[in-house]
Structure 1
């Protein structure tokens, strides 16, 4: 989710497929803004696609790849959260795949989808072109907290995490391969994206996000597929948790001294960029500080 207009096309590429385990591949985002990592997970009789890409044209490419990969197996689709590059291509799968998400994400798609569609269309001509003709999809199957999807010889676990990066975050785990898809709860090589846009959207919670990461760390996955950035190992979960905890602590110690939010942002942004000079997305540090200021006890 960029905060400034894009100057490139956010296009999913199918040419560099990364195999993570038997019958489990990722279409990597190649570091391209507004392109997510997309998973394709196979079992004996079914295949699950994780994420659609931005808009129907990207999703049509993903569907074509998944259909060829499936070789006649039944198709399912899920998305880690409702943000446009992850879920706003679901309409391309209508009639071809069963779309399933948790209840909070389904509510986000219905309630906040139209507003995010307009916001993203303002991010430049390339983004608007990909979003042309988007109709936010209605999931075929909605679950509450956990759903075990039997693909045939492989059961994939879909788990609603509760409010964190968004109200309807979901992780997807493949226990037999020790692979975890996190969506934007975790990203490689960048500061965590806080969609903190008061008064329009204040669903992100830094405190709950930290708790979610602690729980995910306890599951001990072998491979972590972030929403964006390189596929990594379990250390990535700890790195993001450590950053969020430090962001909270440095914000709160200044908040305790009655420092203005403007001064807090200036000081903490400088500290964080010094700590992680190689990370992208510095514009999101201030959003995170604003969120943690409201969560200050």
Structure 2
């Protein structure tokens, strides 16, 4: 049974001076939510699922900011990360990359309808949810001056979604990845043909290579416990495993359902303690479609 996807404001973790994370406590459809402060403003990263969660986060942020201006950004458009942003309207400036803004416009309604079918706890949190409209957009990178601290927002290009964005805190070695990285969990592949096929396992591997080159000291994943740069390697190596085992079988022209069953059993055997194995099959489907592609 799905646990209620409620943001829990206890056990807030301080990562560095004026940088805190509200951990997701490994509850499905609850993201890690981060606040980054400067002398003049505070940036909130991700909202939680729907208006009630976002209201909790907003109230926490207002108290944390103590009179400083508020900004909001979201790592990508999926409902537990972005569909509470409407609550921040008039209270914070909502800033995202242009590809994510396009995802919200073109896919938001479909994902809202899909998530409402995931069970009563999810539908309840999405009551009154609307598709948010950003106040500001950028193309590739944006340097946000919070006062004495400049935070970099960067579009990664298509990977987990078309509009993935990472946030870095220069000088602290902190990287916020959204769902490009999860801790001890099979990577989430939103592969829903023909409605959404923007996820790319091939490009995802390349994105993780680029992120690892920055040698982050602290990595805040979309879901799961905060870690270090080894989290990037963990997800990268899994995606390479998934690609190689899928493509090896695709080369032998096995049916896709046979490939999925074989690869799923293999991945679970290799990672017996990881959560959400249901995403393996969708990853296989994506990589079958990308078979042989190396760009």
Q: TM-score range by the shorter chain?
A: over 0.9
Secondary structure of the residue aligned to 1:183 is strand
Gaps of 5+ in 1: 1-5
Alpha-carbon displacement from aligned partner over 1:237-264 (angstroms, at most 9, x marks no partner): 0010000001001111111111111111
**Could you state the TM-score of these two structures normalised by the residue count of structure 2?**
0.98
Of 285, 290, 295, the match for 2:285 = 290
Shift of 1:233: 0.5
Counterpart Cα distance in 2 of 1:180 and 1:222: 8
Unaligned runs of 5+ in 2: none
Q: Distance in 2 between matches of 1:178 and 1:107?
A: 30
The CA RMSD measured in Å over matched residues stands at: 0.6
- In structure 2, how many angstroms separate the alpha carbons of the residues matched to 1:119 and 1:259? 31
Give 2:240's aligned residue.
245
How much does 1:171 deviate?
0.2
Q: Secondary structure at the match of 2:263?
A: helix
SS in 2 for 1:177: coil
**Conservation of the 8 A alpha-carbon contact between 1:48 and 1:76:** yes
CA offset digits 1:149-188 (Å, max 9, x no partner):
0001111000000000000000000012110000000000
- CA distance in 1 between counterparts of 2:6 and 2:227 reads 22
Matched, 1:219 2:214: yes
Check if 1:278 corresponds to 2:273: yes
CA contact (8 A) 2:13 2:21 kept: yes
Determine if the alignment matches structure 1 residue 139 to structure 2 residue 134. yes
Q: Distance in 2 between matches of 1:276 and 1:295?
A: 24
Runs of 4+ in 1 over 3 A off after TM superposition: none
> How much does 1:8 deviate?
2.1
> What secondary structure is seen at the aligned counterpart in 2 of 1:112?
helix
Is residue 267 from structure 1 mapped to residue 262 from structure 2 by the alignment? Answer: yes
Question: Residue 233 in 1 paired to residue 228 in 2?
Answer: yes
Cα deviation, 1:212-245, whole Å, max 9, x if unaligned, reads 0000000000000000000001001001000000
How high is the TM-score relative to the length of structure 1?
0.97
Corresponding pairs, count:
292
Task: Identify which of 77, 81, 104 aligns with 2:76.
Answer: 81
| 1:91 equivalent among 86, 90, 95 | 86
Instruction: Give the secondary structure class of the aligned counterpart of 1:270.
Output: helix
2:101 to 106, 116, 124: 106
CA distance in 2, matches of 1:56, 1:78: 16
Structure 1 CA distance for aligned equivalents of residues 165 and 83 of structure 2: 16
**Aligned-residue offset at 1:96:** 0.4
Give the whole-Å Cα distance in 2 for the aligned partners of 1:121 and 1:258.
37
Match of 2:245, SS state, is helix
